[in-house]
Amino acid sequence: MGQNKTSDKVILEIDNLAVSYGHVNALKDVSLTVNEGEIVVLIGANGAGKTSIMETVLGVNQVDSGTIKFQGKDITNKPADKIVRSGMFLVPEGRGVFSSMSVTDNLLLGAHHNLKGSKEKMDYVFSSFPILGERKDQVAGTLSGGERQMLAIARALMSSPKMILVDEPSIGLAPKIVNDIFEILVQLNSEGYSILLSEQNVYKALKCAHRGYVMETGKILLSGTSEELLNNSEIRKAYLGA
């Protein structure tokens, strides 16, 4: 997997980022890049800082120091709605779909910064995710876990992003469904979306990503192509049980 042709053009550039929550230094000197057309995965145990990176990129957390650039523009500490309008969307940990709202209304939430063309965008996501089209009037709480994850991804697409950040999409899903979700991400990537993914399902994530970064306690420990990381003896010991 990960066959999509990538470019050398950087779409997301994080330099020397530091973020804290009160006394907790959640991110320390984090630097990473995602090129246009890439799937890049953040690997790390609980509390490593994966969600903190994603939420900070989206403008949810205040940056202590460092910079975040998206498509060459500095977005450090910019408001989340502005960042979303510039072409980035977060598929949050735990999916964040609203159980009592219908599939359609959840999707419209993704488009709320720009309702223009929502009918076309809705048609596009229903053609990509036929199961959601079949269930469009159902409340999201009646969907299976895998369908809810699809809805969360589809909602992101409703904002017409260039890049999506997908935080631990496989959590709580059966292995077969996890494969489906990763296939969807690879398909979206082949349609041109750049993707920053976070995962504890290291083997499968590296199989679909182009490159990865390994995090531990708020720092980047190691980075490389997926192949390099899959062959790295420490990664194999720590994350692949080999």
- Closest approach, Cβ 3 to ligand ATP, in A, equals 28
- Which one of ligand ATP, Mg ion, none is in contact with 4 (Cβ closer than 5 to 8 A by kind)? none
> CB count, 10 Å around CB of 70?
22
Binding residues for ligand ATP, per CB under 6 A?
21, 24, 26, 44, 46-52, 93
**163 or 165: whose CB is closer to Mg ion?**
165
**36 or 199: whose CB is closer to Mg ion?**
199
Binding residues for Mg ion, per CB under 5 A?
50-51, 93
Contact yes or no for 211/178 (Cβ under 8 A) = no
- Which one of Mg ion, ligand ATP, none is in contact with 189 (Cβ closer than 5 to 8 A by kind)? none
- Closest approach, Cβ 112 to ligand ATP, in A, equals 25
**96 or 133: whose CB is closer to Mg ion?**
96
- Closest approach, Cβ 24 to ligand ATP, in A, equals 4
